[in-house]
A and B are shown apart, each in its own frame.
Chain A
Amino acid sequence: MGFLRHVFRWLSLALIALAGAWLLWPARDGEAASARRDGRDAANRAEARHVITLSPGSAYLPGAVPFGVGQPLVGLAAVIRDFEKRFPDTRVEIINVPGVREYIVTQLSSGRAPDIINVNVEDVWTDVQKGWYVPLDAYLEAPNPFIREKGDPTAPGYHQWWDMFKYQAISRGKAAPDGRNYCISFDMVETAIFYNKDIFAKVGVSVPTTWEQWLDDMAKLEAAGYTPLLMSIYAFNDWCVDLIFDQLYYAVLPGIDLLQDPTREKYLEGYLDWDELCFLYRQGFFTPRDPRYAELWRHMRALRKYCNRNLANIDTDREFVTQQGAMYWTACPLTYRLMADKELGFEWGVFYLPRFTTATSEFASETEMCVIGGAGMQYEVTNSAYNDTGDPATSEKLERVIALLQFMTVPEHYERIVNEYPCFLPNVVGVPVLPSLEPFEAILERRYTTTKWIFTFDLRFSEIQQRMLELYLNDGIALDAFLEWQEANLEAATQNLLARKNVDMARLEREWDRRAPLRADTRGLPYD
């Protein structure tokens, strides 16, 4: 018995030691495995002259299974393999960077960010003065060498890379307020209301054409025991604020849209930039004295009544596919989730939000709802891309990083990436839209929003707005108190912005005076 115990003890120790050794053994990383697949050995790859790190975003991440349904993605990996064959001295590493701004900021500030990252470019605008990003205008205005080498002067991209992009106005409209473009608008995304046709038929409601009809429909759906509309607090704080803002302010834009930038105006017609918002705020707009602004939030609370109880921390996809919610306001990638689900037990469709009428609000512009989507994956080149020389003007690596982006936008390569599954709309001329995404393409033809509140000011502003909005929408604070918070928040954000940027307030003042006649007959202005 004693001997057996002795043996057992030593065996246990040996097992633990083996398990520890196995855990500590260096893992064979993806690149080595990839090298074996390609018939190249890892040592040769390690000698690559340029190592480009690319964070493509979860939509195209090789090996990822979108929504956990279907096959792992392979499109981008295949294109990268072709690129590496074309440039044997270059290796491309795919990095899955979490979409957490805190993480990216720390990486950027230490010069360790991936060479190409995917961030909403409005977030980039706030940091362009720090030298974290490379302006891409010079490259966009030059030919795409991979198109040029084909020798067809009529092909988009032969003269300028810019010409390859299908949604010109949106892509060029992504230029920062300093006039420079820091991102490649790789593809397009659009939102819509996904709805359960079976529930609609059962309850006897139809696709609404006005905001009132929509609210009536939701009341019926709620009475029937469904959650009428699934929405997260992020959708409220981002899309909903901007759409309702546009409905209420569009009619007065001629009198308050003070600056027009010819390079951006084609898409951003009437867009209120941060300097304009700062100036208008100083004129009393967006304060408790502005009746349109107060009404904006009231309409949101009226809508919130019909939404899921928990606005944060809720799996809205799941609520929709399990038919607990009748409608779901989200972006086009959900299309794939619904199409790929073999067990989805209902018919679904999409429609866009209906417009306000004068029955909704005396300030309703009676115009159709504008677009809230636009560029989906927005690829920026970071300061890490020229860490070989430290100078973008002399960096060979930067040239190669740009070449990778140019290579990815060649139509035959691009299609393999973007049309691998229905997720985003292609933004390269000559690449077809997948049929299931055509409704979103139609929505994207609409006019763009008047402003994007949470991307205009600093992140502190956005965070506080979201928190207080959630509190207000959940009846935790009255409208007056919410507006006071917003005013204080906007005051701090305005001061911060004016301190950081050179805003020509005198010019805005002159434009304001010049446009006084256009405001003469407008009701409900804050200084009335």
Chain B
Amino acid sequence: MTRPRPALIGHRARFTLSCYGLLLVPLALLTLFVYVPVMWAFTKSLFQFEVGGASRFIGLDNYVEFITRDPTTIPSFLNMLFLTLFAVCTRLSIPLILAKLIHALASERARYFYRVLFLIPVLVPGVAVQLIWAGMIYRDRGMLNEALRAVGLDTLVTGWLSDPSTALVAVAFVGFPFVGGFEVLIYYAGLSSIPQSVTEAAAIEGCVGLQKFFRIDIPMVLSQLKLILILTIIGGVQGFQGIFIMTRGGPGFKTTVPGLWMYFNAFSFQRMGYACAIGVCLFAVIFGLTILNMRYFKSTEELVGRR
């Protein structure tokens, strides 16, 4: 009986090497399509660079202008902060409550039905939603103003997106009643993964209803909350397309966010170097907030691990 010849490289090592080899391809593509453009943007942020024109090295002037001299910087960051906080509040709370309500339903068929019902609006493109809000709800003779007129509140009728005192809130309220189907599903998955033994133990201890929701359910879905929080912050800092469609950041700069100003500088004013500087600043903001989030917002697994 011959003994099998020992392999030059063990099976485990071969597998590991294969993994590294296979990872090289996506890594190379990622470098080419993501890291190189990011580095290019950072480099160009140090230049006065106009589309189709010559570029001139100006060091940190673009950053200095954006941070100290551009009159739009402070209002746009405040707008971004407001919109992001609003989105965080709505996306962390309302879908979680809905997920809990669906999860509490006794019938599996009913749970499935509600999950599908809340998910369907996700299929409507965001642009369409924004156009509907701008064209049907916030119009001069739109649903909101007509409803106010119908109940005799004519004094409250206004141009919701034109009025400087309402424009930002009007933009924030697009998507009302904020029943994000995506978030509902994520939270529902989290609630479904709570072990039965935990639920039963809580019941034996008399922890039911709201008490259970706050003391058992929320701590057990912290991982999901953390994920939604990070995604909402990133979306809030980067996103501007809805504002572009509805108000273009106006009136004045009442609804402008830094991302939108970056877009205008890049493609309308042709100040590509300056736009790159804004982009790098936004990257720094997102990076910083994500680090803070990772450091101070612990997921369920991290909390369990720490105990």
Contact = CB atoms under 8 A, between A and B. Distances in A.
Query: Does chain A bind chain B?
Result: yes
Interface of A: 101-102, 105-106, 108-109, 127, 129-130, 132, 227, 233, 308-315, 319, 324, 458-460, 463, 466-468, 470-471, 474-477, 485, 488
B158 A313 contact: no
B239 interface: no
A305 to B, nearest CB: 13
Contacts of A233: 250
Contact of B252 (A102, A106, A314, A468): A468
Interface of B: 51-53, 71, 134-135, 138-141, 157-165, 246-254, 256, 263-265, 267-271
Contact of A476 (B53, B251, B270): B251
Contacts of B265: 460
Nearest to B160: A310
A233 B159 CA distance: 13
Contacts of A475: 164
B255 to A, nearest CB: 10
B248 A312 contact: yes
Contact of A309 (B51, B158, B164, B269): B158
Nearest to A311: B162
Given A105-B51, A310-B159, A319 B140 contact: yes
Binding site secondary structure of chain B = loop
Nearest to A108: B52
Contacts of A319: 140-141
A474 B251 contact: yes
A64 B192 CA distance: 53
Contacts of B164: 471, 474-477
Nearest to B164: A476
Q: Which 6 A-B pairs have the closest CB atoms?
A: A476-B164, A471-B252, A309-B159, A102-B267, A310-B159, A470-B251
Contact of B269 (A129, A459, A470, A471): A459
A238 to B, nearest CB: 15
Contact of A470 (B51, B134, B160, B252): B252
Contacts of A474: 159, 162-164, 251
Nearest to B157: A309
Contact of A106 (B162, B248, B267): B267
B251 A467 contact: yes
A476 B138 CA distance: 18
Contacts of A129: 53
A463 B140 CA distance: 24
B249 A467 contact: yes
A476 B161 contact: no
22 contacts: A101-B267, A102-B263, A102-B267, A106-B51, A106-B267, A108-B52, A130-B53, A309-B162, A310-B139, A310-B159, A310-B160, A311-B159, A311-B162, A313-B134, A313-B138, A319-B140, A319-B141, A467-B252, A476-B163, A476-B165, A477-B164, A485-B71
Binding site secondary structure of chain A = helix
**Which of the listed residues A105, A310, A468, A477 has the most CB atoms from chain B within 10 Å of its own CB?**
A310
Contacts, number: 107
A489 B248 CA distance: 18
A314 B160 CA distance: 12
Contacts of A485: 71
B171 to A, nearest CB: 12
B252 A476 contact: yes
A227 to B, nearest CB: 7
Contacts of A132: 52
Contacts of A476: 163-165, 251-252, 254
B267 A105 contact: yes
Contacts of B251: 311-312, 467, 470-471, 474, 476
A467 B253 contact: yes
B268 A310 contact: no
Given A106-B51, A108-B52, A310-B138, A470 B250 contact: yes
Contact of B161 (A109, A130, A310, A477): A310
A105 B263 CA distance: 13
Nearest to A324: B141
**Which of the listed residues B51, B162, B165 has the most CB atoms from chain A within 10 Å of its own CB?**
B162
Contacts of A468: 252
B130 to A, nearest CB: 10
Contact of B52 (A102, A127, A314): A127
Given A466-B250, A467-B252, 16 more contacts: A101-B268, A102-B268, A105-B51, A106-B51, A132-B52, A309-B157, A309-B159, A310-B159, A312-B251, A313-B138, A313-B161, A315-B139, A460-B264, A470-B162, A474-B164, A476-B251
Given A105-B270, A458-B269, A470-B252, A312 B165 contact: no
A518 to B, nearest CB: 37
B250 A310 contact: no
A313 to B, nearest CB: 5
B24 to A, nearest CB: 30
Contacts of B138: 310, 313
